[in-house]
Amino acid sequence: MQAGARLALYGAGLVVAFGGAFAVAGVLIPDNFVAAWAAGSETDGHNDGQSVTAPEPATDARSGLSLDTDGFLLSPVDAPTTIGEAGELSFQVQTAAGEPVTEFTEAHEKDLHLIVVRSDGTGFRHVHPELDASTGTWSVPWTWEAAGSYRVYADFTPSAGDAEGLTLTRTVEVAGDVTPVTTEVQRTAEVDGFTVTLAGELTAGEPGTLTLSVERGGMPVTALEAYLGAFGHLVALREGDLAYLHVHPEGSEPEAGETGGPEIGFTAEAPTAGRYLLYLDFQVDGEVRTASFVIDAVAGDGAGDEDAHSGGH
């Protein structure tokens, strides 16, 4: 199928409701305060191709915010403690009784998605650790490139047939001098010879359209490959508290060998005015790249008083 036709059917958009699950950078607020926040959504980051609408308040305030929810617990994370030290990042998903969980339901081609990001939004990584079924331990080779406080998100779906996806979080501290990063609006990203451009605006409380265009050598890229069952994968964080929601484009998964591009459309709604950090994962020639952007959402009539519920600035 031609890329343009595919975009009309598949790349029509991705709904990012920033008013969903909130995770807080541990450098600002410790884990035990996160569970007290009332904002949240019962929709996890994986929407399985369905549109995500503005969420209702979660009945469990810890949904997507805490190291434990719905009878599951994220164990302490074992990882190198200093920069440049090669090792492993490992953890377990446990039951409330402390027993390791070894069975999961695959979501977007993986049993568990691991997102790691520093409190200032730098050092973003989306990886897929391996499970040792004999111990219930997930692990992935790991080296820290910079010191600081990092938020670790484990995104998974329990094995029960009707289970909803869950996101559990922990904070990891990496020793060393930290140089805070001051963000500036950035709508064009250069990564490995690709140029990715972000068009569109965010208005607090109102849906808006964002379009990401991928080029290489000045030519549009129409060879975007399926990655985790989609042509594009977006993570969005609100600067300051790292409000987090992880979603995918709507529509059916690409067929084997099918390609897309150069444009991927998204529909996004920010809960408040302010600065937002966006990370787009895309795959070409079997390699996944991440393009990072910074945009500001302006105040809108529907912004409301979200900060009162989100631990805002």
Lowest mean pLDDT among 32-46, 159-173, 239-253, 284-298: 32-46
* pLDDT(129) > 80: yes
Do 87 and 79 meet the contact criterion of CB atoms below 8 Å apart? yes
Lowest mean pLDDT among 195-209, 266-280, 297-311: 297-311
**The predicted structure's pLDDT at residue 245:** 61
**The predicted structure's pLDDT at residue 38:** 32
**The predicted structure's pLDDT at residue 32:** 38
**The predicted structure's pLDDT at residue 249:** 60
What domains sit in the chain, N to C, each tagged with a CATH number?
Answer: 3-15+182-310 (2.60.40.1220)
**The predicted structure's pLDDT at residue 246:** 54
* pLDDT(33) > 80: no
* pLDDT(46) > 50: no
How far is it, in rounded angstroms, from Cα 204 to Cα 202?
7
Q: Is 257 exposed, middle or buried (0-12, 13-18, 19+ CB in 10 A)?
A: exposed
Average model confidence (pLDDT) across the chain: 77
**The predicted structure's pLDDT at residue 236:** 82
How far is it, in rounded angstroms, from Cα 169 to Cα 145?
21
How far is it, in rounded angstroms, from Cα 293 to Cα 162?
36
Which pair of structure tokens corresponds to residue 26? 């541990």
Mean pLDDT (whole number) for 31-57: 36
pLDDT in tens, 173-207: 999 999 888 899 999 999 999 999 999 888 888 88
- Name the band, by pLDDT with cuts 50, 70 and 90, for residue 47: very low
Do 60 and 68 meet the contact criterion of CB atoms below 8 Å apart? no
How far is it, in rounded angstroms, from Cα 9 to Cα 14?
12
Find, among 189, 174, 172, 149, the residue nearest to 85 by Cα: 174
pLDDT in tens, 73-127: 999 999 999 999 999 999 999 999 999 999 999 988 899 999 999 999 999 999 9
* pLDDT(216) > 80: yes
pTM of the model: 0.74
